Amino acid sequence: MDIQLKRGLLEVCVLAAIRNEDSYGYKIIKDMSPYLEMSESTLYTILKRLESGKLLTVWSAEHGGRLRKYYRITPEGKNRIEEFKDDWKEIESIYRFITRETSGIDSTDSDFSTVESVPSRIGEKNEPPDPFDTGFDGPGVNRFGFGPEDNKKGLFRLESEDLSNKE
């Protein structure tokens, strides 16, 4: 994963871990552990960066005879989480664009059941389109306007003068 993207994601994860209550390093790692792994050194680097960006504040309290640092999210930090949620919608849209199939059918569709039915021939009932249908039922021009010579010529459509030379 791109290091800048991952860095941004981890920063928002840390903010999300402290959005409801003040917390300290070990507890932040423990709270995030079901979702992702983070080393203490990575966490403390992120906490310093978030503090310098005024996305969280730090305060200390004695616990078990030792001084423990607690982290509290600021309104700017909460805004960053909301910005991330909005950004994520754009990321999802980009993902859908990247993973789409060239056929124009969404890559999440496993069949053609979501494709609107269209008449395959005049007078026939509506059926789902056949993606492998060439339109040729035999010799002559197919129902799409292509003739057998088109493939030999490398053409994809017949010009009006070519149609006058056909049957």
pLDDT of residue 117: 43
Lowest mean pLDDT among 22-36, 68-82, 97-111: 97-111
pLDDT of residue 139: 52
Domain ranges of the chain: 3-99
pLDDT of residue 111: 46
Distances (CA, A) of 94 to 10, 68, 88, 90, 97: 20, 42, 10, 6, 5
pLDDT of residue 71: 98
The CATH classification number of 3-99 equals 1.10.10.10
Nearest-angstrom CA–CA distance, 142 and 14: 62
Mean predicted confidence (pLDDT) in 82-111:
78
**pLDDT over 90 for what percent of the chain?**
52
What long-range pairs does 128-134 form, CB within 8 A, spacing at least 24?
131/103
pLDDT of residue 98: 93
Contact predicate 60/69, CB 8 Å: yes
DSSP 23: B
